[in-house]
Amino acid sequence: MKRPRENTRKHRHRLPATLALATSALLACGTVSAAAPQPSPDRGNDQPPNGGSTALGDVIPAPTSVDPIPGQRFHIRWNTGIHTPSGNTEATEVGRYLQRQLRPSTGYGLLLNRGEPDRGDIVLKLDGSERRLGESGYRMDVRKHRLTIHATSSEGLFYGTQTLRQLLPAKAESDFPRHGPWPVPAGTIVDKPRFEHRSAMLDVARHFFGVDQLKRYIDQIAQYKINYLHLHLTDDQGWRIQIDSWPRLTTHGGSTEVGGGDGGYYTKRQFTEIVRYAAERNITVVPEIDMPGHTNAALSSYAELNCDGEAPPLYTGIEVGFSSLCVDKEITYRFVEDVIREVAELTPGRYLHIGGDEAHSTTDEDYQRFMSRVLPLVEKYGKTPVGWHEYAKATPSKEAMVQYWGTSTSNEEVAEAAERGNPILLSPANRSYLDQKYNEDTELGLDWAGPTTVREAYQWDPGTHMESVPESAVAGVEAPLWSETLTTSDHIEFMAFPRLPAVAELGWSPASAHDWESFRTRVAHQAPRWQEQGIDFYRSEQIPWSDN
Ligand code: NGO
């Protein structure tokens, strides 16, 4: 078992440039269309001498189709420029983001929109006629003298640039200058997501993670084309988002965490910065205010929210199911409305998550009454509700998203919700919960739904996972990371890598590309990238790591 280190970014493992990816196998050279890129036994003899090369298709999530041109490469050079469509701010931002990512390692200027595209340049193109790409897809043509990414939106361009990153040698992820060359294997990739909703969740309530830690995780998930970050902002142990009309929620309710540490919270300014930072990486933040259970931090902050008028003490343990807002009191709904209004104002995205899980201290009847008053409030402030699947029994309107977190593959209420038209977000706890131990010896994490190996996290199909929930009802997948046992960024990374990329691939890649052998080889090739990025990942024995 590997012990995670306690620091965050200070001690980064670094590989010598010559080792980085030098051991990576090239993938097969034939066209791979909507099928898993297959690792090839032979590495070919046209690798550059310094820094190694990646094969087209050696990407996570696996692209929809890959058509390599053997033996040819594009090179990023000192005079390579980046071109973005004129007059489109968002597309220009994508170009600028790519520039910011590649400048530190290459040491090149990668100037933006310097004259007409020239030989050796990278061109980002918006082209509405490429219907087959849908709204979020892209086509990347890599030729000797030009690398072009086509898409119908800036979102598609962004995904193309994230694929491009993975096609460069791993040292491209370095934050200090490295020697080239910077080859990209030639060919064409056509790629688009299987599901619209590809989410990661972080529980910042059980243990608080600061803005920089959140940004670090956002950077990590964005490279795997995750497009939602669900933040579990409130729970029994802490309230983490400033609410002006109820200030004690944070000054008191945010003052501790599991184990009795100092806790913390995001000011509105900080939260807005997180939302902006995520949006720059094509990620929409979904805030969760969990209710009516999981509310001890709020109940402890305001005595009047309790049925008996007495505030309970703050809680620093990890039990669940003991707290409930007082369903009979009018003040409860004033409180909920204030919170929803203020959180909605901070949230440009469509969704607001209202929890609804494990309300074991609320009777069924009270739960229904509570939800029937709260669901319209979410809509009143312009948001679409999301809730853990228990709230399906309150029959939310058919736009509302139902998030399944059970371990069984059948659930009547979820199947009925799907039938009524509710989109279902899948985060089966025995598959995609990143907080579950990898095996019984893993020091971090919980095991109530696990342990869950990398293979188990990968080996399921969201389109057929649940009885009577057809693929057409599935909005996508989420990988939640609960933080009862996690206190540092290293802990987050150790639990998320390599399982987060596994769930990301299930959300993005076509079912026909789903292949464990291919995935484990490609994930092994991510290791040198993670080392460059300082990610403290779990060296699962199921993966043929080749970097050490
Ligand atoms: C459950 C519970 C959470 C725990 C988590 C731990 C849901 C939706 N509610 O998932 O409060 O933190 O398990 O794995």
Check residue 54 and give its pLDDT.
Answer: 81
**Domain final residue, candidates 169, 191, 213:** 191
- Model-level pTM greater than 0.95? no
**Domain final residue, candidates 137, 166, 191:** 191
Does a structural domain hold residue 417? yes
| Distances in whole angstroms, Cα of residue 61 to Cα of each of 222, 392, 431, 473 | 12, 31, 17, 22
Does a structural domain hold residue 505? yes
Q: Choose one of 318, 358, 360 to mutate for the ligand 1 pocket test, by most ligand atoms within 8 angstroms of C-beta.
A: 358
Question: For the chain, how long is the longest CA-to-CA vector?
Answer: 76
Spacing, Cα 204 to ligand 1 middle (Å): 13
Q: Among 130, 273, 304, 358, which one carries the catalytic annotation?
A: 358
Spacing, Cα 163 to ligand 1 middle (Å): 33
What is the extent of the structural domain holding 155?
39-191
Does a structural domain hold residue 518? yes
3-state secondary structure of 284: strand
- In the residue annotation, 358 being an active-site residue is answered as yes
Please measure the distance between the N-terminal and C-terminal CA atoms of the chain and give it in whole angstroms: 16
Spacing, Cα 290 to ligand 1 middle (Å): 11
Residue nearest to atom 6 of ligand 1 (CA): 482
φ/ψ bin of 417: left (φ > 0), alpha (ψ from -120 to 50), beta (otherwise): alpha
Spacing, Cα 408 to ligand 1 middle (Å): 15
**What atom in ligand 1 is closest to the CA of residue 405?**
8
**What atom in ligand 1 is closest to the CA of residue 358?**
9
Number of domains in the chain: 2
Check residue 186 and give its pLDDT.
Answer: 98
Does a structural domain hold residue 329? yes
Spacing, Cα 365 to ligand 1 middle (Å): 23
Do residue 267 and residue 356 come from a single domain?
yes
Do residue 218 and residue 328 come from a single domain?
yes
Do residue 61 and residue 204 come from a single domain?
no
3-state secondary structure of 35: coil
Do residue 393 and residue 446 come from a single domain?
yes
**What atom in ligand 1 is closest to the CA of residue 449?**
14
Q: Ligand 1 within 6 A of 318 CB?
A: no
CA dihedral 437, 438, 444, 448 (to 10 degrees): 10
Do residue 172 and residue 213 come from a single domain?
no
Do residue 275 and residue 377 come from a single domain?
yes
**What atom in ligand 1 is closest to the CA of residue 388?**
8
Q: How would you write the pLDDT of the chain (548 residues) with one tens digit per residue?
A: 334 433 333 333 333 332 222 223 323 334 455 556 554 333 333 333 334 568 999 999 999 999 999 999 999 999 999 999 999 999 999 999 999 999 999 999 999 999 999 999 999 999 988 889 999 999 999 999 999 999 999 999 999 999 999 999 999 999 999 999 999 999 999 999 999 999 999 999 999 999 999 999 999 999 999 999 999 999 999 999 999 999 999 999 999 999 999 999 999 999 999 999 999 999 999 999 999 999 999 999 999 999 999 999 999 999 999 999 999 999 999 999 999 999 999 999 999 999 999 999 999 999 999 999 999 999 999 999 999 999 999 999 999 999 999 999 999 999 999 999 999 999 999 999 999 999 999 999 999 999 999 999 999 999 999 999 999 999 999 999 999 999 999 999 999 999 999 999 999 999 999 999 999 999 999 999 999 999 999 999 999 998 75
Does a structural domain hold residue 7? no
Does a structural domain hold residue 8? no
Spacing, Cα 170 to ligand 1 middle (Å): 36
Check residue 510 and give its pLDDT.
Answer: 98
Check residue 359 and give its pLDDT.
Answer: 94
**Domain final residue, candidates 145, 172, 191:** 191
Q: Ligand 1 within 6 A of 482 CB?
A: yes
Q: Ligand 1 within 6 A of 290 CB?
A: no
Check residue 129 and give its pLDDT.
Answer: 86
Q: Choose one of 320, 405, 452 to mutate for the ligand 1 pocket test, by most ligand atoms within 8 angstroms of C-beta.
A: 320
Do residue 174 and residue 303 come from a single domain?
no
Do residue 245 and residue 162 come from a single domain?
no
Q: Ligand 1 within 6 A of 320 CB?
A: yes
Check residue 130 and give its pLDDT.
Answer: 87
Question: What single-letter amino acid sits at 546?
Answer: S
- Asked if residues 61 and 173 have their Cβ atoms less than 8 Å apart, the reply is no
Do residue 275 and residue 322 come from a single domain?
yes
Check residue 249 and give its pLDDT.
Answer: 98
Q: Ligand 1 within 6 A of 358 CB?
A: yes
For 47-50, the CB contacts below 8 A with 24+ separation are 47/22, 48/181, 48/183, 50/17, 50/18, 50/179, 50/180, 50/181
| Distances in whole angstroms, Cα of residue 302 to Cα of each of 83, 258, 305 | 55, 20, 6
**What atom in ligand 1 is closest to the CA of residue 436?**
14
- In CATH, what number is assigned to the domain containing residue 122? 3.30.379.10
Residue nearest to atom 11 of ligand 1 (CA): 320
Do residue 246 and residue 100 come from a single domain?
no
Spacing, Cα 86 to ligand 1 middle (Å): 47
Do residue 156 and residue 215 come from a single domain?
no
Spacing, Cα 446 to ligand 1 middle (Å): 10
In 10 A of CB 278, how many CB atoms? Answer: 25
- Asked if residues 421 and 398 have their Cβ atoms less than 8 Å apart, the reply is yes
User: 191: part of which helix (H) or strand (E)?
Assistant: strand 182-191
Residue nearest to atom 8 of ligand 1 (CA): 357
Does a structural domain hold residue 374? yes
Between strands 138-143 and 146-151, the pairing is: antiparallel
Check residue 53 and give its pLDDT.
Answer: 62
Question: What single-letter amino acid sits at 221?
Answer: I
Centroid of chain to Cα 396: 26
Q: Ligand 1 within 6 A of 433 CB?
A: yes
Q: Ligand 1 within 6 A of 404 CB?
A: no
List the strands of the sheet with 138-143, edge to edge: 32-33, 65-76, 182-191, 138-143, 146-151, 121-126, 82-83
- In CATH, what number is assigned to the domain containing residue 517? 3.20.20.80
Q: Choose one of 237, 405, 486 to mutate for the ligand 1 pocket test, by most ligand atoms within 8 angstroms of C-beta.
A: 405
Do residue 205 and residue 186 come from a single domain?
no
Is there a cis peptide before residue 104, judged by omega within 30 degrees of 0? no
Does a structural domain hold residue 109? yes
